[in-house]
Amino acid sequence: MTRDLLADVRLGVPTVWTPPSRDDAAPPAPSLALADVHAADARLRRFAPFLAGAFDGPWYDGPRGVEEGVIDSPLTPIPAMRDALGLPHDLWLKRDDALPVSGSIKARGGIYEVLALAERIALESGWAGGDPERGDHRDFAGSELRDLLSGYTVAVGSTGNLGLSIGVMARTLGFRAVIHMSADARAWKKDMLRGLGAEVVEYGGDYGLAVATGRAQAEKDPRTHFVDDETSRELFLGYAVAGLRLVDQLEAADLLPSAAHPLHVHLPCGVGGGPGGIVHGLHLALRERGLDTTHLHCWYAEPVQAPCMLLALATGRGDDVDVQEFGLDGATLADGLAVGRASRLAWSATKNRVAGAYTVRDADLMDLLRRLDATEGLRLEPSALAGVAGPTALHEAGIDVGDARSPRSRHLAWATGGSLVPAAEMETYLRG
């Protein structure tokens, strides 16, 4: 089976991979425990008063009252899109396209890592932020801490959205920011970063080159912190917080996975940190509530030209396999997913828990982009549609995992970006 699947991958034909088995009971890596995810959530909430003042919303104000300054997004049904796609089951959208601050899933991990760094530097320099008598995280808006942080650099390699999240947050706190951008990154993302005073370094090659070069440069300077999309524990924990919080939203919407109503979560996947963190956090949070995670089915969604996580999983080789080995060039309109090699951290943390991975053609992403606009009035960037393609992909491949094609199942597509796309660029997507 794997041989046929890999032949399809080579040909750029949409394909679905499912694992021979899952091991939901396997304990998480000690450094990625539930307590670590809760600690990350608590840190983000400590920064909420600062964030609410540093940016003017729109802040999420949904079920269970996520407070102002907490970066989160609503969960909404998309029945008109479901009907247009002819699906027999519910279809929901997790609106990370509308996340405050940087309008994509990368706001979660990226902003978290920069905030964690800022807190660490401040505490090491004697800031008494933990002492309510003497200050709180609103102090980060003041000149004292900004001056301190301006002596440090935050660097990152990115296909665009991670760089945007890191650049916006780093500059807002006063850090110097150096963003190494791959060839796929959209011009408007680079322009926006330059407008914020970040330094943008452009590469002709792919994302892996941008990361490797940025990482090597940062190693030479002890006052430069490199946010490593392929290996960072902090990024991963920041994303995992989304899984933790999603459980509250699932409960409020009566979508918690059960034998009667299996839940399928479709996650656009680049290097894997964002979606992997969410898979990880969601599993831990459901288990914390005593719920059976075997009724949760998380899928990685990738472009046909850049299926790095599908290859990592299907070959069992993790980050030791590159899409180029399969004759693919990684070129896709889904710029956020244009990654040739998966994160070892994300692969190893989730390989025993995911339902599978599938690939989607660019033409289908663009068709879905237009249909979502026409049916629901929602405008996403191309990468963010990969998960919306999932239910149809599972139907067409005849997949029965978790009753995927049954009216009893529920499907949730993670909309990973879109609200910051300039209107003119969105018009070109919509016109085709």
Q: C-beta of 353: minimal distance to ligand PLP in Å?
A: 16
Q: Looking at beta carbons only, is 148 or 421 nearer to ligand PLP?
A: 421
Closest by Cα among 425, 412, 403 to 299: 412
Binding residue (CB under 6 A) for ligand PLP from 114, 149, 265, 269: 269
Q: Are 185 and 209 in contact (CB under 8 A)?
A: no
Q: C-beta of 130: minimal distance to ligand PLP in Å?
A: 31
Closest by Cα among 60, 80, 77, 78 to 69: 60
Token readout for 245 is 């919080």
Q: C-beta of 349: minimal distance to ligand PLP in Å?
A: 12
Binding residue (CB under 6 A) for ligand PLP from 38, 82, 89, 106: 106
Binding residue (CB under 6 A) for ligand PLP from 208, 272, 318, 330: 272
Size of the site for ligand PLP (CB under 6 A): 22
Of residues 367-386, those binding ligand PLP (CB under 6 A): 381, 383-384
Token readout for 312 is 């990592």
Rounded to whole angstroms, the Cα distance separating 334 from 303 reads: 7
Which one of 245-253, 323-331, 334-342, 395-403 is the stretch in contact with ligand PLP (CB under 6 A)? 334-342
Phi and psi torsions of 222, nearest 5°:
-65, -20
- Work out whether 274 is an interface residue with ligand PLP (CB under 6 A): yes
Q: Are 347 and 312 in contact (CB under 8 A)?
A: yes
- Work out whether 336 is an interface residue with ligand PLP (CB under 6 A): yes
Report the Cα 92 to chain-centroid distance in Å: 17
Binding residue (CB under 6 A) for ligand PLP from 115, 121, 145, 162: 162
3-class secondary-structure state, position 176 = strand
Closest by Cα among 301, 369, 394, 380 to 84: 369
- Work out whether 319 is an interface residue with ligand PLP (CB under 6 A): no
Report the residue number whose CB is nearest to ligand PLP: 336
Check whether the bond before 58 is cis (ω within 30° of 0).
Answer: yes
Token readout for 216 is 């090597």
Which one of 14-22, 185-193, 267-275, 388-396 is the stretch in contact with ligand PLP (CB under 6 A)? 267-275
Q: Looking at beta carbons only, is 51 or 279 nearer to ligand PLP?
A: 279
Dihedral in degrees, nearest 10, Cα atoms 380, 385, 278, 180: -70
Binding residue (CB under 6 A) for ligand PLP from 51, 71, 99, 105: 105
Which one of 65-73, 137-145, 332-340, 394-402 is the stretch in contact with ligand PLP (CB under 6 A)? 332-340
- Work out whether 119 is an interface residue with ligand PLP (CB under 6 A): no
Binding residue (CB under 6 A) for ligand PLP from 12, 167, 257, 270: 270
Which string of DSSP letters, residue by residue, matches 239-283? HHHHHHHHHHHHHHTT----SSS-EEEEEE-SSSHHHHHHHHHHH
The residues of the shown chain that bind ligand PLP, judged by CB under 6 A, are: 104-106, 159, 161-162, 268-275, 336-337, 339, 381, 383-384, 416-417
